[in-house]
Structure 1
Amino acid sequence: ISLSLLHQYYLHQFGWICVVTGASRGIGRGIALQLSEAGATVYITGRQEKTLKQTAAEVTERGGRCLPVVCDSSKEDEIKELFECVQCEQNGRLDLLVNNAYAGVQAIMDNLNKKFWEVDPDVWDTNNNTGLRGHYFCSVYAAWMMVAQGKGLIVFISSMGGLRYLFNVSYGVGKAAVTDMAVELKKKGVVSVSLWPGAAPPGFDSKFKEVFNKGETTEFSGRCIVELAKDKSLMSMTGPVSMTCDLAHRYGLKDVDVDYTSLKFLISQIPYVSWLSVFTPSFIRVPRSMLSLGSGKF
């Protein structure tokens, strides 16, 4: 079967209409590529037209359909215009929103190990205007369409910060605050999932890439989201944080180099006893709830 015929099959089977924010590089780009390969029409957003067009070109090379839209996720008027465009062009249909845009990485690195009162309070805006606030507005406009059609999937790209304390207060609020949407959307047939990817190259600054160079590929989150969207029991997964390593086990996906629930991996991260990981079977997994122990969050 040729790649073009395979794409046409997926287009017929899974012709979703999708929006992926922050899709010009890193995980967002990988998600857009995987959704397009599954036959979706993907609206991708970012602040730089050049990098958006590069991602769109890659999608086209793979036989997908991508619509790049310059949109700053910290600006409500641009977000509103984006979803009005989708509603008009797709006759009110939207199947999937991936809230990925984020602009706080540098602020996190600049303020590591500092308490919230030791940092300029403006860091809240840096961490959450493009992230939490932008996600909220995108979700509101997406929900208008999804609730009307009685179905849809909203994915928030999250992290361990959705389970326990991580980095700082403003970062943690941004990751933990979005789960309540699932409660209000559930009775309307719309699923809301927070996805925790493993370490993956962020798509900028080489010193960060070196930290993540042994992690999963930037497209693996996209593969997980494709499987989520196809899952007939998807509503059972609405609300909590889902890890890519969990979804890898659920759907039989192969890509993850690091399983954050593996007892072997967790022991390898503990000083003085890391040598024990050599003797720990790789199939033993720790319940996800235990990852939040000691955080004081639950």
Structure 2
Amino acid sequence: MSLSGWICLVTGASRGIGKGIALQLSEAGAIVYITGRQEKTLKETATEVDERGGKCIPVICDSTKDDDIEKLFERIKQEQDGRMDLLVNNAYAGVQTIFENGGKKFWETDPSIWDTINNTGLRSHYICSVYAARMMVARGQGLIVNISSMGGLQYLFNVPYGVGKAACDRMAIDMAVELRKRGVAAVSLWPGPVKTELITQFVLSNDAPQEAKIPSQLKDVFANGETPECSGVCIVNLAKDKNLMSLSGKIFMTCDLARRYGIRDVDGRPIEDFTTLKFLLTQMPYVSWLSSFVPSFIRMPRFLLPLLNNHF
């Protein structure tokens, strides 16, 4: 129970990665507030947390509404005597829109796709971070985690997606600068491909919409992807790191934290390191056979990964 007594908030936790994070935080002993727009799915997640022996408090909150966010933090402040130890900015509403518009260029889609992808993501992350930081700074400790992706480094899905993820990364980096002397850390976390409910529906299912079809190689990567709880395992280990402040302002992939803490996914599988030369070779049809001869410890510098964009 390494996080016993911690007060945590995970936004967008009624399913997917957010749900997985909430499950792992609660298993570690934390009291976890979770948000979402649908009462039914929120209660289902809370019930699953309770069945595992954790404590979860579901709160209906529309992350596009500033008043809802303000009321959420006011409630936590009153119920927990002003304490908040960990905020995970995970709320996101763009997955279905991304796949329904798969293959379309930015000028071929309605401009409102920007708001669909980035209001419940980027904008709400900033607002939640403001309220959380006020509580954390007052106590001189805390951790803010932005759930982002490799789309912040190289083209992935579409223009609004990439810009939003790059901004989430930059937000964590810049928040860390202003929070450093206050004992509060901020990081950005890139999960690998995750086999969530929506990915199963829009990518892996035989009934997936035609417009959502993706290359077979990428489909295979998702089929063998991380569990939704993998990011939660990583965040629990990060939160209890005695050198947490030295990590503030950094961008981590789940495989980075797996390597740092020696952890595996909840199903026992090793967490795939997408930066290894061995893995990257497996994604290149004509030279994939070379991967069996390459040691797994050889990694590509992250800034070079966009050069391989055409192979994914």
Answer whether TM exceeds 0.5 for this pair: yes
Shift of 1:165: 2.8
Aligned to 2:45, what secondary structure does the other structure show? helix
Is 1:233 matched with 2:243?
Answer: yes
1:247 matched residue in structure 2: 257
1:153 matched residue in structure 2: 143
Aligned to 2:285, what secondary structure does the other structure show? coil
What is the Cα-based RMSD across aligned positions, in Å?
A: 1.8
What residue identity is the alignment partner of 1:83? F
**Displaced runs of 4 or more, over 6 A:** none
Is 1:284 matched with 2:298?
Answer: yes
Aligned to 1:195, what secondary structure does the other structure show? strand
Shift of 1:128: 0.5
What residue identity is the alignment partner of 1:249? R
Aligned to 1:153, what secondary structure does the other structure show? strand
Aligned to 1:98, what secondary structure does the other structure show? strand
Shift of 1:45: 0.5
Shift of 1:240: 2.7
Is 1:218 matched with 2:223?
Answer: no
Give yes or no for contact 1:162–1:241 (8 Å, CA) kept in 2: no
Distance 1:92 1:196, change over 3 A: same
What number of residue pairs does the alignment pair up? 285
1:5 matched residue in structure 2: none
Aligned to 2:13, what secondary structure does the other structure show? coil
Shift of 1:237: 1.5
1:7 matched residue in structure 2: none
1:111 matched residue in structure 2: 101
1:85 matched residue in structure 2: 75
Measured against aligned partners, the alpha-carbon deviations of 1:115-153 in whole angstroms (never above 9, x if no partner) come to 322321111001101000111111111111011111110
1:6 matched residue in structure 2: none
Give yes or no for contact 2:84–2:136 (8 Å, CA) kept in 1: yes
Shift of 1:257: 4.4
Give yes or no for contact 1:202–1:209 (8 Å, CA) kept in 2: no
What residue identity is the alignment partner of 1:193? V
Is 1:194 matched with 2:188?
Answer: yes
Measured against aligned partners, the alpha-carbon deviations of 1:236-286 in whole angstroms (never above 9, x if no partner) come to 222232000010010000224421111111111123222222322223222
Cα distance in 2 between the residues matched to 1:62 and 1:218: 16
Is 1:39 matched with 2:29?
Answer: yes
Give yes or no for contact 1:93–1:145 (8 Å, CA) kept in 2: yes
The answer for unaligned runs of 5 or more in structure 2 is: 206-218
Shift of 1:293: 4.7
2:115 matched residue in structure 1: 125
Shift of 1:294: 7.5
